[in-house]
Each structure stands twice: as structure tokens, then as C-alpha cells.
Structure 1
Amino acid sequence: MKEKFLGSFLVFLGACSFGVLSSIVKTAYQAGYTLGEVTGVQCFLGMLILWGSHLIVKGLNKPKATPVKHSPSTPKWKVCVVGIFPGLVGICYYQCVQLVPASIAIILLMQYLWISIIIDFVIFKNKPSTFQLLTVAIIIVGSCLAAGVLNQNIHLNFSGCLFGFLAALMYSLFITTSSNVGNDLPKLEKSALMITGACIITFLIFPPLFFFKYSISEPLYVLGFLLALLGTVLPPFLFSVGMPKIGISFSAILSAAELPIAVTCSYFYLKESVLLTQWIGVIIILIAIALLNLKNLKKGS
């Protein structure tokens, strides 16, 4: 029971960390930076932080006696390939935000909930419970309210919707692969390998010209550090520790905490107006997550 509670808490924290990103990204766009610059700096700094942390921890924990070496069963290149998915999530989602209203972009990203459960069922034969399906339906309803869909005229852009759905698909694949690949590796090393893959795919799509365009004192690097810490370093590490303890479907539902955090940050940080119906949607999502967590803990006890 304690293991599942810890796993749930870590996944929840990772989702909350993701929820802060939209406000920081919007600040970066307002400062005139481009999609490629924002995603590139985020991945690069995140990779440096994770590898630096891994090497420091590895040096501090170096045993005095020579232990018997047990080679991990997962090749490191496979974990690096997994990093393609979080790299594409950032690119697709940030592009979606530029083409459709933010509320629609968030709802499109939230579709990873049912996509993850389908992947879990089709690939791993884990049949979702009736309670899980009901929770997903409640969260989707809450998402629509929290995003303010009922309170604005919506003009959909096909390309924007496509990027949003691709972001949801990539996020689902990230949840699935992160939960099942590289669990025998040290957590920091696993996270560093994944973000290395994310950095590679990002630089292939957007060559890192910002290295030559901006000085180290540029605000881009400050915003990039915040994005790296809250979007690249903490969530993958927390997910890699927490997801194997609770499974894919439950992890996907807990990750829905991203939306209420995003709405709350937009209200307090960006000073955007948030209507009563949006707050009701936030409360509905939090209640659904809490009920599922309590049911899981009760089952474990």
C-alpha cells in the first residue's frame, strides 16, 4: 500500500510540474522567442542538469570495495529512443498552442487519458475497470469546463488540432514506454538517457542556432532553465520512479492534475480571468483523482 501511495504521489507531483509550463512558455513567446528556441533550450539545459546530477550522485555513492557487477538487461540506446516521445510532446503541444485557443489545446492534450488506457489494454492486455472508465469520463467533462469551452466562441484550425492530437498520442506513448523500459537502470541515468533522446530529436527538427544568436545572459536561458527543471528534469524522473509502482492506466489518470494546475497558474501568474465554470471543472478533476487514489489505497490495504 505504501509503495502505491508513494508512486501515486510522485506521478501527481510530476503532473503538477508539467502544469506550470504553459505559463512559462507563454511568457517566452511574449518575449519574442520562437518554438524552436524555446524547445531547444529546454531540452539542452535539461540534459545538462540530468547528466550532471547523475554523475555527481554516482561519484558520491561510489563503493569502496569492488562489487560484483550485474549488467542491466535494458540496452541504454533503447531508453534514449524512449526520449523521442517527450521531445515530440513539447514540439507538438507548443505548436498547437500557437494555432488554436489554449483551452482547445489543453483538451486535445488531455485525450492521452483514453489513448493510454487503450494502449495499455491492446498491448499489455490490462483491461480497465468500470471505475477507471467512469473516472476518465468525469475528468474529460471537468476538462471541458476547466478549459472554458462553454464560455467562448471556438475557431478550430485543422493543423492545430492535428498537432494537439499528436501531442496526446506522443504523451501516451511516453507514459507507456517510461513505465516499461529501463526500470533496471538508476533513475537519474534513465531520465538523462531519455532527455538525451529528446534533445537529439529536437535538434534534428530545429537546429540549435540560438547558441550563436544569443549570449548566455539572454532571458531565453533563464526561461529555458525553468522549463528544463519543471518540464524536462523533474517530471521524467518522478514518472520513472512512480509509474512502475501504480501502472499505466492509473498513471495516465493521475497525470490529469496538469490541467487544474495550468488553470491556477494562468489566474495567479498571468492574471488571466478564470470563470466560475472553469473553477468548477478544476474541482471536478481533483475530486475524480482523489476518489481513484483513495479507492486504490483501500484496495491495497
Structure 2
Amino acid sequence: MTKSISMVLAGAASFGILSSFVKLAYQEGYNPAEIAFSQAVVGALLLSALACFTQPAQKSLLTRKNSLYLLGTGAAIGLSTYLYYQSVQSISASLAIVLLMQFTWIGLLLEWAFFQKRPSRMELLITLFILTGTVLAGKLLEPKQASFSWVGVFFVLVASVTYAIYIVANSRVGKAVPYLTKSALTMIGSALAILAVNAPTLAFENHVGSGLIKWALFLALFGTVIPPVLFAKGIPRVGAGLSGILMTAELPVALLTAHFLLNESLDGIQLVGIVIMLGSLVAMNVYKGRNE
């Protein structure tokens, strides 16, 4: 059990470090479209290779209908990744991850709108605490801070919506498909969506070379390959409820990485907000786990 818990925590931590390293890639002259697209392409290639070598006998479970659904699901996470990376060009990595976490309650609204699954009073109360923690952790009462930009906030909030769409769709689509095959198709859809939105930029303003490949490989490993593999191995043994709690580790890891790697501020009020958010996210997962 300890090994499985460590796998889930490591997967969450892998996600948490991404935004800070993306900001470092920007310092070398790369743009969000290049980084997001190259990450998706490399991730799709690596996952496809793993799927071919380790799950060849299970391909029959993949139907045309499942393939199309998974490509669509991948388009959602691809747009989310691109918009999230776009946001960290103009706001701090700390603020970006705090705002991205709004996908937790946005997902509740999506399930209510499309599947008539109305949020309970407890879920609404927890959402209120998440929003309170967000205001404190993101220092939203200080909009004149140097790292604040309404454009960046807009991008990351839209990213949180598309991320919520991805999570809701991913939980309902392709359940019988082997996880590596499912992840590979999702990343192909992700790459296609990013390409469709950024075709002119990728065609005429690209900086393809060893430097971009370095970042693409790093971000693909820690953003699209390692987490799915660790989650696929660890979550079935740990259970969905505890796994949901463990995956909230992404938030403090992202904030600490931004603090130590990028020297982003982390004061007492932010720490209080982070604690409130973490407690709320844990409470949400515990509540869902008991109900399910």
C-alpha cells in the first residue's frame, strides 16, 4: 500500500512542477503554442510506443466510436494545457495553479448541466471554502501586484473550464480501453487541437531545434507519460477516494516549486489560503468517496 500511495503522490508532484519549468522555457524564447504542441506530440509518440510494446493483445477493445470520443477528450486537455501555458506568460505560476484548481467546482456545474447531477449543499459549502482559499492564496485582493494580469487570469480560468470538461469526459469515456492506449489517443487529440488553434504560429514562428526538443521531452515525461502510468498502477490499489486526496499534492508542489525555482512570493496570507484550499479539496474528495 505504501508503494502505491507513493506512486499517486509522485504522479501529482510531476504535474505540479510543470508551470515553473514552462516559465523557464519562455526565458529561452519559446512560446506557448510551441511548448504545448511539442509536449503533446512527444507524449503521444512515447505513449503509443509503450502501448504497442506492452498492450498489443488488447487493441480489439478499441472501437471507432471509442477512438473518436478519446480524441475529443484529448482536444479538451490539449486546449487546457495550451491556455494554462499561455496564462503563465503574464501571471505568476503560483496564481495560475491556484486559479486552475477551480476545475473542482466547475466540474460539479458541468455534471449538473449535462447529466442532471445536482450539487449537494455540502458540495456547495466546500466550493465556497475553495473560493475563499483561492482569494487568499492568489492574493486576489491585491490586483495591482506586479504579477497580475486580467488577460492571464482569463486564459487560466478558461483553462480550468476545459480541464473540468476533460475530467468529466475522461471519467465516462473509454473505460474498457487499456490505459496506455487510452492515454496515447488522448494525447493525439491534444496535439491535433493545439495544432488547429495555433497553425499559423507553428508554421511561421517556430523555433524547432534541440532546445525545444529538450523541453518537449522533459514536459512530456513529467506531464503526459509518468503521471498516467503511476496513476494507472497506484489508484486501483489505493482507491479513488484516497487517491483524490493524494492528488491534491499538486497544489503545494506547484507553489513550492515556483517559490524556490522562480523566487515567487509566498507569504502568511497565501499560506492560510493554501491550507483552506487543500482542506477543501480533501473534504470534497472524502465527501464524493463516501457517496460513491
Deviation of 1:240 after TM superposition, in Å, equals: 7.5
Match of 2:36 in 1: 39
Match of 1:115 in 2: 106
Match of 2:14 in 1: 17
- Tell me the SS of whatever aligns to 1:272: coil
Percent of aligned pairs with the same residue? 33
- Tell me the SS of whatever aligns to 1:149: coil
Deviation of 1:18 after TM superposition, in Å, equals: 2.4
- Tell me the SS of whatever aligns to 1:83: helix
- CA–CA distance in 2 between the matches of 1:254 and 1:119? 23
- Tell me the SS of whatever aligns to 2:34: helix
Deviation of 1:145 after TM superposition, in Å, equals: 1.9
Q: Are 1:143 and 2:137 an aligned pair?
A: no
Quickly say closer, same or farther: Cα 1:121–1:44, change in 2 above 3 A. same
- Tell me the SS of whatever aligns to 2:176: coil
Q: Which moved more, 1:93-102 or 1:136-145?
A: 93-102
Match of 2:208 in 1: 214
Deviation of 1:264 after TM superposition, in Å, equals: 1.2
- Give the 5 Å matches for 1:62-101: 62=57, 74-100=65-91
Match of 1:280 in 2: 272
Deviation of 1:266 after TM superposition, in Å, equals: 0.9
- The answer (yes or no) to whether the contact 1:110–1:140 under 8 Å persists in 2 is no
Quickly say closer, same or farther: Cα 1:254–1:126, change in 2 above 3 A. farther
- The answer (yes or no) to whether the contact 2:40–2:191 under 8 Å persists in 1 is yes
Q: Are 1:182 and 2:174 an aligned pair?
A: yes
Quickly say closer, same or farther: Cα 1:210–1:246, change in 2 above 3 A. farther
Deviation of 1:281 after TM superposition, in Å, equals: 1.9
- The answer (yes or no) to whether the contact 2:51–2:181 under 8 Å persists in 1 is yes
Deviation of 1:174 after TM superposition, in Å, equals: 0.3
For 1:31, the aligned partner's letter is E
Q: Deviations over 1:153-198 (max 9, x none)?
A: 2586554443233212111110110000111111111111110000
- CA–CA distance in 2 between the matches of 1:291 and 1:70? 36
- CA–CA distance in 1 between the matches of 2:105 and 2:289? 22
5+ long unaligned stretches in structure 2: none
Deviation of 1:14 after TM superposition, in Å, equals: 4.9
For 2:72, the aligned partner's letter is V
- Tell me the SS of whatever aligns to 1:126: coil
Quickly say closer, same or farther: Cα 1:70–1:221, change in 2 above 3 A. closer
Q: Deviations over 1:179-234 (max 9, x none)?
A: 0011111111111111000011122233455998433xx23222222211222234
- CA–CA distance in 1 between the matches of 2:109 and 2:31? 34
Quickly say closer, same or farther: Cα 1:107–1:282, change in 2 above 3 A. closer
Deviation of 1:235 after TM superposition, in Å, equals: 4.4
- The answer (yes or no) to whether the contact 1:18–1:231 under 8 Å persists in 2 is yes
1:230 pairs, out of 205, 208, 222, with: 222
2:117 pairs, out of 118, 126, 134, with: 126
- CA–CA distance in 2 between the matches of 1:74 and 1:238? 27
1:198 pairs, out of 186, 190, 203, with: 190
- CA–CA distance in 1 between the matches of 2:161 and 2:246? 17
5+ long unaligned stretches in structure 1: 64-68
Quickly say closer, same or farther: Cα 1:95–1:196, change in 2 above 3 A. same
Deviation of 1:52 after TM superposition, in Å, equals: 1.0
- The answer (yes or no) to whether the contact 2:99–2:134 under 8 Å persists in 1 is no
Q: Deviations over 1:218-268 (max 9, x none)?
A: 23222222211222234456678859x759xx96x9865543221111122
Quickly say closer, same or farther: Cα 1:281–1:159, change in 2 above 3 A. closer
Q: Deviations over 1:135-167 (max 9, x none)?
A: 222222222222233456258655444323321
Quickly say closer, same or farther: Cα 1:137–1:16, change in 2 above 3 A. farther
- The answer (yes or no) to whether the contact 1:254–1:289 under 8 Å persists in 2 is no
Q: Which moved more, 1:9-18 or 1:265-274?
A: 9-18
Match of 1:66 in 2: none
Per the normalisation by structure 2, the TM-score is 0.79
Q: Deviations over 1:122-147 (max 9, x none)?
A: 22232323322222222222222222
